[in-house]
Amino acid sequence: MPIAEPTPSPKQGAPIWLGMLVLYVVWGSTYLGIAIAVDTIPPFLMAAARFFLAGAILLAWSIAREGRSFVLPSRREWRDSAIVGALLLGGGNGLVAFGEQTVPSGIAALLVGLMPVWVAILGGILLGDRLPRLAMIGIAIGFAGVAILVGPSALGGSGSLDPVGLAACLLAPIAWAGGSLFASRRASLPGRPLVATGLQMVLGGLVLAVMATLAGELGTFDAAAVTRDSLLAFAYLTVIGIILAFTVYGWMLRVAPLPLVATYAYVNPVVAVILGWLVLGEAIEPRTVLAGGVIIFAVALIVTARGRMQRPRTAVQGVPTGVAAVPTGKPATTP
């Protein structure tokens, strides 16, 4: 039976806002972490190691906690988890890491922030979801923001971006959207949230390892050339960006109002742009500010419109089943 959104008690107020601060800063900073990590670690190899390691830790934790009561996933759960992991991690995170070799981290974050736009589009095309007028307006505005951001690249003007890296960052949220829709609407996934998440990360990490092999990264990787900054960024992305942030996110979904939790989708790109400017010296041009504002406004319209269409959250919903497989109506998480 549906239940109302949780209402924070006075005692929960401070912890909830601390949790939101973690999601804002940690997930907003992952784009900076990726940019630093791929400076000396090949992108697909970096992402493969990151998610395989984090997934293995989550699975080991689940097995140790449940002991003899632990039940192995079914054959279909293995299959669907592999599909979700391939789309979310291989197509999503892998392409972002690849794109950030040449595309500034702030711009990559703005393009990935379009994920709710693609969820709305693919949901309407593939699943027949009804799109309210507000969502349609949001889609149009979102594409206008993309045009502002990448227009000079398409026309070969000043401030143009590498077309291959740009294409990767444009394709990444489409893969995320497809994986999120499949996970939430079609896939059969393990019922225990940590097991589901860990399994998707391990299998997605294996997919990324195959991508790294096909891209020739294993043959060209020089471990001796990896800098301390890249290693620290890799550790941060794995421990803080995945394990800590997902623990906080799962708790927030249980105790905080869903509209509040969803605000990280608007804040993360802003955090990413600011950190890219502060740490990496990435230029913040008027075009980037304008495009960012347009894209964030579009995402807000779509999330609001889709949220109004959803039934109240039920008690069985917990932590996300994957990196972007979150309750319907919510935006995806960041890389």
Weakest mean pLDDT among 97-101, 151-155, 230-234, 282-286 = 151-155
| CB distance 138 to 308 below 8 Å | no
- Name the percent of the chain lying above pLDDT 70: 85
**Euclidean distance between CA atoms 10 and 106, whole angstroms:** 36
Average pLDDT of the residues in 302-331: 45
Q: How would residue 321 be classed by pLDDT, with cut points 50, 70 and 90?
A: very low
pLDDT of residue 249: 84
Per-residue pLDDT of 136-149, as tens digits, reads: 898 999 989 888 88
Average pLDDT across the chain, whole number? 83
Assign residue 86 a region: left if phi > 0, alpha if psi is -120 to 50, beta otherwise? alpha
Provide mean pLDDT across the span 176-184.
Answer: 89
Sign of the CA dihedral with 78 first, then 254, 327, and 248 last: negative
Whole-model pTM: value is 0.84
Contact between 317 and 261 (Cβ < 8 Å): no
**Confidence (pLDDT) at 255:** 82
Q: Is the pLDDT of residue 170 over 50?
A: yes
Per-residue pLDDT for 254 more than 50? yes
Which of helix, strand or coil describes residue 174? helix
Residue 184 has pLDDT above 60, yes or no: yes
CA 158 from chain centre, in angstroms, equals 30
